[in-house]
Chains A and B, each alone.
Chain A
Amino acid sequence: MVASAESAALEGAQARGASITDTMQALKREGRVAFIPFLVACDPDRDTTVEAIRRLDALGASVIELGVPYCDPVADGPVIQAAATRGLAHGTTLDDVLGLVAEVAPTIKAPILLFVYFNPILTRGLEKFCAQAIAAGAKGLLVPDIPLEEASAVADVAAAHGLELVLLTTPTTPPERMQAIARRSSGFVYLVSITGVTGVKEAMEARVEGLIAELQRQTDKPVAVGFGVSRPDQARQLAGWGAEGVIVGSALVRALGEAASPAEGLDAMAELAASLVQAIQK
């Protein structure tokens, strides 16, 4: 398979089954910038998501962020909302997503980071959810609607199961709080580049450069930047500003989900992903 052939070429940075921390730290040591694509599970359908994840992995994705479709995604903009709605419209359940992870995780080298709103986790039961996620092969968890105050309880349980909880910091987060978030985040620290929801933005805000530097003064953990990053030139700019990872969601989701057919969507997504990977190579 393409994925396994390519993984041999990337030996070192990414051993199969590696944790998010190991993967990110290895890239950091080598001075390489991580490419972290985001997809919504089961949009446009389950098989396309599986294939899309394999193609992203083959293209050199460092970590793959996989969104569990949710009915009220308050942190997401129109593109990801629409993708989640499409996913739910054909009856996608949490078990479907976990099944998808179980199928795809053993065949790729990039660790999977599950992006899940808190209510589905709470409904499943935190313990049970973490046990099932790790059993399926996910390596980390990102819960966009729990801030630091609620994070400790989740982090404890996740860690007990071997799942890393990635925390987000934003432009409105005061420096002291940013420090506390960096201290408790595992895998990497997710810097949200805008005050706003996920989506495609024309230009990166200039203050992001300062935020990356500020965050790196406070932590040794890799800093990955996301929200509003859609084009290779933006990714290159972030890499130039010292970001250790670039997260791209809406633009890939749109390319994949809004194409005329799944095959065209996969090609459009892969083309964009390849240009992003190239843009952040130094």
Chain B
Amino acid sequence: MLTGTALGVLTWGGGASCLFGGFLAVVAASKSRAAQDLGSVREVESLSDLKELASLVPLLVAVSGRVWCARPLTCELSAGEAAIVEVQEEKRTERRFGAVWVGETTPLRASVRETEWCLAEGEGGAGAQVPVLGGAGARGDALQPTGDVFLPAQEGALGALVGELAGHRALGTRVREAALAPGTQLAAHKPEEVGIHDTPLRPDASGRYGKFGGKYVPETLIVALTELEQAYKEALADPTFIAELDHLLKTYVGRPSPLYHAERLSEHYRRPDGSGPEIWLKREDLNHTGAHKINNSLGQALLCQRMGKKRVIAETGAGQHGVATATVCARAGLQCVVYMGTKDMERQSLNVFRMRLLGAEVRPVASGTCTLKDATSEALRDWVTNVEGSHYILGSVAGPHPFPQIVRDFQAVIGRELRGQAAEAWGGLPDVLLACVGGGSNAMGLFHEFVGDASVRLVGVEAAGHGLATDKHAATLTLGRVGVLHGSMSYVIQDPDGQIVDPHSISAGLDYPGVGPEHAYLRDAGRAEYGSVTDAQALEAFQLLSRLEGIIPALESSHALAYLDTLCPTLAHGTRVVVNCSGRGDKDVQQVIQHLDL
């Protein structure tokens, strides 16, 4: 059984608490999925032997040993130490139906903590050690219960009486805890490849992608996030919601967006011997409002209506998300407030006018760097203040859980369509997917469908601004460090003190110092790779596509296109590359005039 979030060095399969002492490692050079099916299996006596073998063979399939951690966690209920602690808290209530009281359970909290731990050869960390990453996300039952308490509700006599009369009474709170204790004997598996397809849940129950994601927000917002999570779950299970969304994507947005074979662009990248990759464009620029952003805005506006909220808040950088949100709000009759940095309002004055035309109020944000980062902070403050009647339509796969998941899922229509279109066009999968990454929503939308297809190479392109050697860039995954920004843990461009550094990109949509947590996860897992291109390279690509294909791409999408210069020379003849042409460049023309002398 090969399971678990396959990250880093080793992934824990859980459950298999082996009875034999000592050490066993099974090493194989096969590509099969289960240890039993392996063509060649070798057993080794100790981890020390394994070190040698690891350089010779590609796969380490299973290791067993004793759990050890340098800095164990303390359990909440028991006083014990642990490498992983899982706590679940739920509210128990009873509701009366006629004369019968029926019990109900509502989850209050599900938290998982995991410290750095490893499997060690001997007791107390002795002998060789193999670090295990992402164990908390693995399936299996190796966590042992360490506590189960029931805290009775503290209702006054009057409260209890009122509850009785209303047919509703609180019983109390049940807190359950399970932990993985140091010294536990167990086995860990590393699936072949990176094995992300074995991951049961992305995000996990606590809203995390490995260590990334989570909910780092003021307490006021927690209830709204929980409500959103619940509404989203219910909406997904409701066929009428899905049907309405599909219908509107077709009739209002204009989906499916075409998959276009860019023959002249492919020709441009042919080598002297005539070989080269075939380049295809996923035409998100043909959507209503001119970019992929509307896929998400539309879905979230429908969610907002389901939740009965009448006011929508949004942040915008390039203005595409603002325009898309203003558009769907106009259609749904929702009040719409868009926060936009004053610097971006200048760069994207056309979009400011479009939003106002659509009936939205555009609020200038003049704090900090006056760009997307500050607009997002201001939108969050508005939501904290007006949470009870407002929904925040976040535009990227960033922010606190469940936003990265919701935005990804609404954007995933891009990849889903592509699978069918690729099957129709050439009867197979694409070989390489290429998309620009600011917060990362168009890239996640393209990648998500194919994360489990190990043969599909996922490539994200960040903005290198004036160059990676300068401090004027927005290449978060390339140069950032792990941090918390706008509610989630991910990579962040920051100074040594943890202050966010002013990013730079010619493209307002990529000018953001953070990145979606799932990108951070895919990068660290080795499932996706990320490069970068400069402002100048993006401008070149902007012109190239215009002249060769008659398509003016957005400056954001131009970053993905510019990376073809780096990528194409390394690709085998006939490799099928699909570039997400995430938006059209009409909005950028005013700005580009200042850079180009045509």
**A interface residues with partner B (beta carbon < 8 Å):** 70-75, 77, 81, 85, 88, 93-94, 118-124, 144-150, 152-153, 156, 167-174, 176-177, 179-181, 192, 194-197, 217-218
Contact = CB atoms under 8 A, between A and B. Distances in A.
Nearest to A190: B219
A274 B89 CA distance: 44
A77 B498 CA distance: 21
Contact of A148 (B109, B154, B496): B109
Interface string B478-496: 0001111111010010101
Interface string B363-389: 000011000011001001100111110
B367 A85 contact: yes
Contact of A74 (B111, B113, B215, B381): B381
Which secondary structure characterizes the binding site on chain B?
mixed
B499 A181 contact: no
A118 B483 CA distance: 9
B39 interface: no
Contact of B484 (A73, A118, A196, A217): A118
Contacts, number: 145
Interface stretch (B220-228, B351-359, B533-541): B220-228
B498 A149 contact: no
B30 to A, nearest CB: 39
B367 A81 contact: yes
B219 A195 contact: no
B395 interface: no
A123 B113 contact: no
B6 interface: no
17 contacts: A72-B373, A74-B380, A74-B384, A118-B216, A120-B498, A124-B497, A145-B484, A147-B215, A147-B217, A149-B214, A149-B222, A150-B214, A156-B73, A176-B108, A177-B222, A194-B385, A195-B384
Given A94-B497, A149-B222, A173-B222, 6 more contacts: A73-B377, A74-B217, A74-B218, A148-B222, A156-B73, A196-B385
A119 B380 contact: no
A167 B220 CA distance: 12
A85 B381 CA distance: 17
Most buried by B among A147, A171, A196: A147
A74 B486 contact: yes
A145 B497 contact: no
Contacts of A81: 367
Interface string B153-176: 010100000000000001001000
A81 B368 CA distance: 9
A144 B388 CA distance: 20
A181 B218 CA distance: 13
A168 B387 CA distance: 17
B515 interface: no
Contacts of A153: 73, 113
Contacts of A192: 219-220
Contacts of B73: 153, 156
Given A172-B224, A179-B173, A180-B108, A123 B481 contact: yes
A152 B87 contact: yes
Most buried by A among B216, B223, B388, B496: B216
A153 B76 CA distance: 10
B91 interface: yes
B220 A170 contact: yes
B591 interface: no
Contacts of B497: 93-94, 120, 123-124
A119 B214 CA distance: 14
Contacts of B489: 122
Contacts of B108: 176-177, 180
Interface string B224-235: 100000000000
Nearest to A129: B498
B224 A217 contact: no
A149 to B, nearest CB: 5
A69 to B, nearest CB: 9
A124 B425 CA distance: 52
Contacts of A173: 219-220, 222-223
B164 to A, nearest CB: 17
Contact of A72 (B220, B221, B222, B485): B485
B206 interface: yes
Contacts of A145: 216-218, 484, 487
Nearest to A196: B385
User: Closest 3 interchain pairs by CB?
Assistant: A123-B498, A120-B498, A196-B385
Nearest to B71: A127
Contacts of A122: 482-484, 489, 498
B388 A195 contact: yes
A234 B170 CA distance: 34
A250 to B, nearest CB: 14
Contacts of A121: 498
B74 interface: yes
B381 A181 contact: no
A118 B73 CA distance: 20
Given A75-B218, A147-B217, A152 B173 contact: no
Contacts of B484: 118-119, 122, 145
B500 interface: yes
A72 B492 contact: no
Contacts of B223: 172-174
Interface in B166-209: 170, 173, 206
Given A120-B499, A147-B218, A176-B173, A77 B381 contact: yes
Nearest to B110: A149
Contacts of A148: 109, 219, 222
Nearest to A75: B218
Nearest to B90: A176
B154 A149 contact: no
A70 B483 contact: no
A152 B87 CA distance: 10
B498 A119 contact: yes
A156 B381 CA distance: 29
Interface string B500-512: 1000000000000
A150 B216 contact: yes
Nearest to A82: B367
